Chains A and B, each alone.
Chain A
């Protein structure tokens, strides 16, 4: 089964193995999800899905599941 594209973005930008990415993976639970990788993650999501997140969504992006929900607001189905 092909990897979930959103999980692939998280794995690449948090420098984590793809198999460790779950919907529950959250900012507070992972040392590698620091303020620099958060910026990398937002940049990667915006580039991949051709959106520009509002500031409140940049701040609200705190788990894989929340990223999926936020992207849906922009009409993207990740």
Chain B
């Protein structure tokens, strides 16, 4: 699998190979490339990551936030993997630390390039790693950079359970604004929306630069 750098602090434009492609082909292209950030790497989801992802999704707080009534089974994860492989509007990335350790996953799904929108969700990170490194910050900035700049989407939406106050706060910092409510799997979720034109990571970049320098030491 090819690998390329994605340093969001430098706001890179889409690679030359990606720029001329239509949106579905861009999604397919991104599924074939690893993206190396400053403190982490996005690796396109593959069944090889099913087991650690299953374990992470089955942690109690993730089960709650993802509205899973019962732990996911390996069979359910396998079925999800197969359905994911067949879709052409869904990007799930495994997050690895700079040292190559499995740290979690994130996802951009229901991508509709014609309508210019997609849904952000499914961010799960190993808390024991995420509180000591900027994994959440860089994961979110990379995903939004890819959505808004490389895929050219105009609007990103997300749904968060109201009890997940930390994620609500993160979305607020990223520029998401309330956009009503919805019900998913029988649970109440808050909707929030980010207009790509209003996506301004500048206030958050000094934090990432600080940690990038720290990692380099």
A binding-site residues for B, Cβ under 8 Å: 15, 31-40, 43, 46-47, 52, 55, 58-59
Chain B residues with Cβ below 8 Å from A37 are 169, 173
How far is B135's CA from A58's CA once the two chains are assembled, in angstroms? 14
B116 on interface, CB distance cutoff 8 Å = no
Q: Name the 8 nearest CB pairs between A and B, nearest first.
A: A31-B165, A43-B210, A34-B166, A35-B136, A34-B169, A39-B134, A36-B137, A40-B207
Please name 24 pairs of A and B residues whose Cβ atoms are closer than 8 Å in the assembled complex, sorted by A. Answer: A15-B173, A31-B166, A33-B169, A34-B136, A34-B169, A34-B170, A35-B131, A35-B135, A35-B136, A35-B137, A35-B170, A36-B134, A36-B136, A36-B137, A36-B173, A36-B204, A37-B169, A39-B134, A39-B136, A39-B207, A40-B204, A43-B206, A47-B210, A59-B131
**Distance of B201 from chain A, by nearest CB (Å):** 11
The answer to whether B214 and A39 touch across the interface, beta carbons within 8 angstroms, is: no
How far is B172's CA from A34's CA once the two chains are assembled, in angstroms? 11
Chain B residues with Cβ below 8 Å from A35 are 125, 130-131, 135-137, 166, 170
* Interface residues of B, count at CB 8 A: 23
Residue in contact with A31 in the complex, picked from B132, B169, B204, B210, CB distance below 8 Å: B169
- Select the residue from A36, A38, A46, A59 with max chain B CB neighbours within 10 A: A36
B211 on interface, CB distance cutoff 8 Å = yes
Give the nearest-CB partner of A55 in chain B. Answer: B132
Main secondary structure of the interface of A (DSSP, over half): helix
**Distance of A37 from chain B, by nearest CB (Å):** 7
List which B128-185 residues lie within 8 A (CB) of chain A: 130-132, 134-137, 140, 165-170, 173
How far is B137's CA from A40's CA once the two chains are assembled, in angstroms? 10
Chain A residues with Cβ below 8 Å from B166 are 31, 33-35
Give the nearest-CB partner of A61 in chain B. Answer: B131
How far is B134's CA from A17's CA once the two chains are assembled, in angstroms? 25
| A52-B210 in contact given A31-B168, A35-B131 (Cβ < 8 Å) | no
**Distance of A6 from chain B, by nearest CB (Å):** 18
How far is B43's CA from A1's CA once the two chains are assembled, in angstroms? 52
Chain A residues with Cβ below 8 Å from B136 are 34-36, 39
Residue in contact with A43 in the complex, picked from B140, B170, B211, B217, CB distance below 8 Å: B211
